[in-house]
Amino acid sequence: MALSRLSLNTSSSSLSRLLFRPSLLSASRLFSSSDVLTIETSVPFTAHQCDPPPRTVETTPKELLGFFRDMSVMRRMEIAADSLYKSKLIRGFCHLYDGQEAVAVGMEAAITRRDAIITAYRDHCIFLGRGGSLVEAFAELMGRQGGCSKGKGGSMHFYKKDSHFYGGHGIVGAQVPLGCGIALGQKYSKDGTVTFAMYGDGAANQGQLFEALNMSALLDLPVILVCENNHYGMGTAEWRAAKSPAYYKRGDYAPGLKVDGMDAFAVKQACKFAKEHALKNGPIILEMDTYRYHGHSMSDPGSTYRTRDEISGVRQERDPIERIRKLILSHELATASELKDIEKQARKEVDEAIAQAKENPMPDPSELFTNVYVKGFGVEAFGADRKEFKAVLP
């Protein structure tokens, strides 16, 4: 990420100005809410059927340090989930997001919680970005009552309706038509909000994606299709699965933008641009060029179809957290030691959340029958042979 300039707009006479001082930073460094940093994105945007946004992005010390902390918590959460899975405290499928954190934090920085997000099964960090708690996340991963989906969804089905996060979906590509449907509702309500429908490069060849995009374009729906291209659909490299892996061009009649998905500020700029476009002109595609460090899921070691040198090369050259760390140090917003303390605090918060989640009870067996049928219709449950009457469902 190229460094541009730091412009400070401070006024000691303004007593009402809010000051930002992270608890782990030294008391000698106080940041005003109006301090402005101008950052240049790591690489230019590549556009299809539209003019790209500028590379310069405005931020503040508070946002920059917030990015570092949020991504550190996300990274630590996913590493801890790896250990919990290997300890058999997490069962079933589990898809980790470490490496892709810049997409989650950059997107949130550009939109509001009134905007909607829907994604596939790599959803833990998107949930955190929407305001979900670590305890809710780990409780859900371990199938406990206090989970964000009451322990019944697991890793692939996180949900937070009050922040307009509509999952967490296990069927490849199926969330995209649902996201376009949410955008249809937003257009009817005329509330100035948009939907970000996220999918991976492995889902980019799904027919339902193109059908949904066609309808969305015809109706000028406020929807942004976000392809998180981590370059492997399960164990299949993109070039083996797609004749045209330029996913941002796949919309043909719909404009698209290729974004460095390892650069939080590039993601922020692209999502801001896409929201403004979608509200005026309808759908747009964002291709986030990103990378996952873990395998596709916990059952995939992630090293049979790519080399360890490839993985370590991305870590060294493009890691999203290290990019933010360099920006913070270059602008002298914190010392290396203080950033280490923030990472230690993130580890502590994750460990405490895991301990709390473990204390959570498992769902009551009666939960098997909730959220399945409409209440009060007297639906009856029978045994497999239809002879033994079981219960009248609530």
Strand, helix or coil at 308?
A: helix
Residue 27, pLDDT > 90, answer no
Gap between the Cα atoms of 227 and 216, Å rounded: 16
pLDDT band at 7 (very low <50, low <70, confident <90, very high): very low
Task: Give per-residue pLDDT as tens, 177-227.
Answer: 999 999 999 999 999 999 999 999 999 999 999 999 999 999 999 999 999
pLDDT for 15? 31
Q: What is the pLDDT of residue 30?
A: 62
The pLDDT of residue 169 is above 50: yes
Q: Could you tell me the pTM of the whole model?
A: 0.89
Q: What is the mean pLDDT of residues 15-31?
A: 46
* Whole-number percent of the chain with pLDDT over 90: 84
Q: Work out the average pLDDT over 333-360.
A: 98
Taking the C-alpha atoms of residue 385 and residue 257, their distance in angstroms, rounded to an integer, is 56
Q: What is the mean pLDDT of residues 282-295?
A: 98
User: What is the rounded CA–CA span in Å between residue 69 and residue 23?
Assistant: 12
Task: Extract the tokens encoding 294.
Answer: 């873990």
pLDDT(350) > 80: yes
Region 161-175 average pLDDT: 96
Alpha-carbon span 369 to 373, nearest angstrom: 8
Q: What's the pLDDT at 24?
A: 55
Spatial CB neighbours of 82, under 8 Å, sequence gap ≥ 6 = 96, 294, 298
DSSP 5-72: EEE----TT-TT--EE--TTS-TT--EETT-EEEEE-SS--EEESSPPPPSEEEE-HHHHHHHHHHHH
**Tell me, what's the pLDDT at 371?**
81
Specify whether the CB–CB gap between 49 and 255 falls below 8 A: yes
In this predicted structure, the answer to whether residue 383 has a pLDDT above a threshold of 60 is yes
Confidence of residue 237 (pLDDT cuts 50, 70, 90): very high
